[in-house]
Structure 1
Amino acid sequence: MASALQDVTLYLVVLMVIATLGPLQFGFHLGELNAPEDVITCRKKTISATVARMVSLVTKADTEADTAVNLADCIPMSSSSFAAVSAIFTVGGLIGALTAGPFTSARGRWLAMQITAACYLAGSLVETFSSSVLTMILGRFLTGLGAGASTVIVPLYISEVAPPKQRGFFGAFTQISINVGILFTQTEGFFLSHDNAWRWILGSGILLAATQTVGLLIVPESPAWTATAKGDMVRARRVLQRIRGKHANIDEEVEAWGGGDGRLPSEEERLLASGEAESSDANATPMSPAAVQPAPNNNSNNNNNNKAHLGFAQVVRDPHTRPAIIAVVGIMFAQQLCGINSIIMYSVSLLKDLLPTSSALLTIIISIINLAVTIGASPLPDKLGRKTMLLVSIVGQGTSSLALALSILFEVKILSAISVLLFVALFAVGLGPVPFIMASELVGSEGVGATQSWALGASYIATFLVAYLFPIINEALNKALGGAGWVYFIFAGFALLWAGFVSYNVPETRGKKNADEVWSRTRRTD
């Protein structure tokens, strides 16, 4: 980690922090309903009388203020209504993910991030002051739009501003920020899941969105997008130089964009060019304004610009990018269908019968471990390889799912707790951060926006399936077979399936300069 941070400037760190506020809010809204579920739905007045007494002095005035503006203490919901409120977030996420790729390719990363901040802000306001299931669904849908777009745009932006040799390390920042958001909201939920104090949990999203909106005012447009899509090499080089530092050598990065080096000509070069032009113009026939424009360069931005807008359907039809779409869709389904969100979204209700006095606290511990392992393991994709970490993560989660199913079924409390913690830790070493890295490494710049939309679209479809179907299937299996925990046998089976998929369909991208090098062996074989 020390070597990865060696050449990092303070300015780059600031950009990373502001940009990753988008994924952080994804994690925040993903877990915001977990701890206060029973309180929000009117099943209980508080999930912990002890905790409620601890914060009663602090929240007494706030509760009185809420009553004055007629905010209800809870919103009556059935299990199916709450499942719909939870799952609609992923529907918004799917739409945001599918539309963000083409939009950010055409209009840039900065404007797209501003729009996500607006979605987060509007959604958080609606959620905080909602008084019915329908208004809560609307708020969750709006925050889902922001979340879906953020998880497409921010990994792209990070990959384009991070130093090339540390892209794997910085690529993990997307998942790290998601985990920070989850930890933040789970901690709030532990203390504020009583009476109508849960509204302060949702209201925190307003502050986060406002902070992102203001912070983006100092964030520049991606230099790579400025060069390839706008054709402004000079501005792109200037921005990249500021990000890398005054004395950093950026020539190799700039050359990778094509279209020249982006340097302004020196005074001597301008005078020489002017003198040559004057001497040649003395005997030349006057030319039209169009004729004096620079001749097109087949290797420059004209070519890049044509590629930069490769569409959503085009990347599937193109035989060079289709294998990448299959790979990223597969690993995004694997990320969700191995079961992580059954823990993130439902751990309190899942474990409350087994661990009735500590399930909310265990959820906070889960979030801490998720964050700590993601940070600690962030250099590993650059050291051991992306594919290796994916396989370690999938096999580990499958084993943990099997242990968790057996421990819940036979009510072995300590094994249940250990299995949950291992399940989350093994997700964090691979399936958490690596898919966000690989989606931008498996294709060239011409299709990266559309590929990210495919990747995150798949992720949100899979997340919706888990968010909506997990409580239904879990309850149905428990009633049909007796006991609990049967659903984790299904997740163990999925892990086996996805391990085979990754082994045969996902190439290693570590150490490869570009997508052509990643797929060169496969294409030669074909």
Structure 2
Amino acid sequence: MHVPTSVHNFLDKPHSVTFQLAWSTAIICLSTLQFGYHLAELNAPEDILSCNFHKPGPYASYEDTIWYKYNYKQCIPMNEKGIALITTMFTVGGLVSSIILGSTSIPSRYGRRYMCLLSSLGYFFGSLIMVFANNVFMINLGRFINGIAAGSSLIMSPILINELTPINHRGFLGSLLQLAVTIGIFISQVVSYFFSNDQQWRIIFVFATSLGLLQFVMLFTVPESPKWMIMQGHDVKSATSILHDLRSDKSTVTYEINHWRQLSINERTKGDNEIQETTALLSETTVTTSEFMFAKKYRYQFIAVILLMTAQQLVGMNAITYYGVKILNNLFGNHHETGGDQVLILSCSFSLCNVISAICISPLVDKVGRRPLVLSSIFMCSICSIVIGVGIINQYDIAVITACFGFVIGFSIGLGPIPFLMISELSGHEVVSIAQSVGTSTNWLANIFIAFGFPILQNSMGGSVFFIFFTTSIAYLVAVWRYIPETKGYNSVQDVWDNFLK
């Protein structure tokens, strides 16, 4: 049946944020908050839980704790390679999850909210395993499951928020996902500050278990994506009811529903005579990952996704996130036993700066636009890379510290929040899940490269390694200018690319 197109300009309506939309966004953002938490959860306690460092707790001895009563070890012996492995397993789990979701029809078959529910369960069980871990295998298994949950949530959370949100708020609400990551990192550091000792380090993972359970329960108050329901041929009445709670101007709901119905019909229609295809309505499953990567039709979408997602990692932010303490310790000549306080305060300050910057930039994403912020972000990171490199080589500690703050701010204004947000704005609805999966997979791979490659390069090159980040940033600056369009204010992906390529 043909659904008539209305001249009502519903997509340009400036909706306000309803309670249901704000609430749903906050609950969905718990996914990336947990990602940030698990990203940083081992920073403080890893030497303690691996028996390489001992720090007394509040009790007279470990025998006085509840963990000893139930035969849980004070620590789990590991060498440096063992510590590196448990750090890496989180990233490996994320990569595996991204590949699976990108090569199957799971995201389009079961829905956005359902996948977020599974992710929260993954966070819960992965953390629970780490709470009761008594050997290296259990620690690695818990980290791997948490990584799987993180990989899934980084794909599905941006899509769900994008499909629940009116166009005029997608940039702002989508950027909250990255803000949640920074908050998760900060919370992890605060919790670790209180519980990184021989007697209480398992409480760090108890807290993570609670976060997973909290989100799982609260997700039942979040609606499924009405767009997904329409595109998959589900109950139009239910989708309409959901949209009424998400839109401040109820007069636009019918037109928005009809717009999605028309998109679904177009997906199933071929030729000038609009002959119905014999395939099912599952539009997202009609395109494979290889087609998205190699078909001419999706070439520019694929290039844009890969550029954004690899740039987020390869400009070097995670070199500071993972190894900032080591960099500063070498700069100040500190050692593990004697130099800690000044560097730890600086490290916490970088994290707090990241949170504040993310808060400040969130309202600007829909006002300034995505592309200018990404370009400004890369440029600022490139300049700070030079300063950090020169400062380390010449022992200019003030210059290095200042540039590190600048790097954090530069990353936060663009490369932090925008890449995951833009994927769903650059990719057609029939490939958006695949684009998220491919983009997230390359992001995880680049993350692994930084995690393993940076310390090797730093040992051989010293501060000069940051000149590599400068060169990489300049290359990305040119590539983003050439291949990434602005997406702010456009009603459809087709409009974005038609305007950019004309």
- TM class, shorter-chain normalised? 0.7 to 0.9
Match of 1:180 in 2: 183
Match of 1:190 in 2: 193
Report 1:82-231 matches (<5 A): 82-101=83-102, 102-231=105-234
Cα deviation per residue 1:135-165 (whole Å; 9 max; x = unaligned)? 2221111100000000000000000011211
Q: Which amino acid aligns with 2:492?
A: N
Residues 490 and 317 (structure 1 numbering): CA distance in 2 closer, same or farther, change over 3 Å?
Answer: closer
> Does residue 442 of structure 2 align to residue 458 of structure 1?
yes
> Does residue 491 of structure 2 align to residue 513 of structure 1?
yes
Q: Which amino acid aligns with 1:388?
A: P
Conserved? CA contact 2:95–2:151, under 8 Å: yes
The 1-side partners of 2:135 and 2:327 are apart by 25
The 1-side partners of 2:141 and 2:92 are apart by 11
Match of 1:307 in 2: 283
Cα deviation per residue 1:169-193 (whole Å; 9 max; x = unaligned)? 1110111111111110011222322
Stretch deviating more after TM superposition (139-148 or 305-314): 305-314
Conserved? CA contact 2:108–2:282, under 8 Å: no
Conserved? CA contact 1:72–1:196, under 8 Å: no
Stretch deviating more after TM superposition (17-26 or 491-500): 491-500
Q: Which amino acid aligns with 2:47?
A: D
- 1:306: Cα distance to partner? 5.1
Residues 96 and 133 (structure 1 numbering): CA distance in 2 closer, same or farther, change over 3 Å?
Answer: same
Q: Which amino acid aligns with 1:421?
A: F
Conserved? CA contact 2:29–2:177, under 8 Å: yes
Q: 1:34 aligns with which of 23, 26, 43?
A: 43
The 1-side partners of 2:426 and 2:316 are apart by 25
RMSD: 2.7
Conserved? CA contact 2:109–2:282, under 8 Å: no
- 1:408: Cα distance to partner? 2.5
Match of 2:268 in 1: none
> Does residue 412 of structure 2 align to residue 428 of structure 1?
yes
Report 1:232-381 matches (<5 A): 232-245=235-248, 247=250, 249-259=252-262, 305=281, 307-309=283-285, 310-355=287-332, 356=339, 357-381=341-365
The 2-side partners of 1:212 and 1:18 are apart by 7
> Does residue 95 of structure 2 align to residue 80 of structure 1?
no
SS at structure 1 position matched to 2:377:
helix
Q: 2:23 aligns with which of 14, 32, 35?
A: 14
- 1:322: Cα distance to partner? 2.1
SS at structure 1 position matched to 2:133:
coil
Moved over 4 A (4+): 59-63, 245-248, 297-304, 521-524
- 1:75: Cα distance to partner? 2.9
Cα deviation per residue 1:42-81 (whole Å; 9 max; x = unaligned)? 33224xxxxx7xx737x98996222223333333333332
Match of 2:370 in 1: 386
SS at structure 2 position matched to 1:236:
helix
Conserved? CA contact 2:167–2:491, under 8 Å: no
The 2-side partners of 1:257 and 1:187 are apart by 45
Q: Which amino acid aligns with 1:433?
A: P
The 1-side partners of 2:255 and 2:100 are apart by 32
Residues 252 and 408 (structure 1 numbering): CA distance in 2 closer, same or farther, change over 3 Å?
Answer: farther
Conserved? CA contact 1:325–1:451, under 8 Å: yes
Q: Which amino acid aligns with 2:22?
A: V
Aligned sequence identity (%): 32
TM-score normalised over the length of structure 1? 0.83
The 1-side partners of 2:368 and 2:248 are apart by 29
Q: Which amino acid aligns with 1:370?
A: N
Name structure 2 gaps, 5 residues minimum: 1-12, 265-272, 333-338
Match of 1:281 in 2: none
SS at structure 2 position matched to 1:250:
helix
Conserved? CA contact 2:15–2:168, under 8 Å: no
The 2-side partners of 1:235 and 1:391 are apart by 41
Cα deviation per residue 1:439-464 (whole Å; 9 max; x = unaligned)? 00112211111111111111111111
TM-score normalised over the length of structure 2? 0.87
Conserved? CA contact 1:400–1:422, under 8 Å: yes
Cα deviation per residue 1:285-334 (whole Å; 9 max; x = unaligned)? xxxxxxxxxxxx95999999353322222222432222111111111111
Conserved? CA contact 1:304–1:446, under 8 Å: no
Conserved? CA contact 2:62–2:198, under 8 Å: no
Q: 2:390 aligns with which of 406, 431, 437?
A: 406
The 1-side partners of 2:84 and 2:26 are apart by 32
The 2-side partners of 1:76 and 1:410 are apart by 39
Q: Which amino acid aligns with 2:311?
A: A
Conserved? CA contact 1:28–1:184, under 8 Å: yes
Q: 1:489 aligns with which of 458, 462, 467?
A: 467
Residues 143 and 320 (structure 1 numbering): CA distance in 2 closer, same or farther, change over 3 Å?
Answer: same
Match of 2:66 in 1: 65
The structure with the largest alpha-carbon Rg is: 1
Q: Which amino acid aligns with 1:92?
A: G
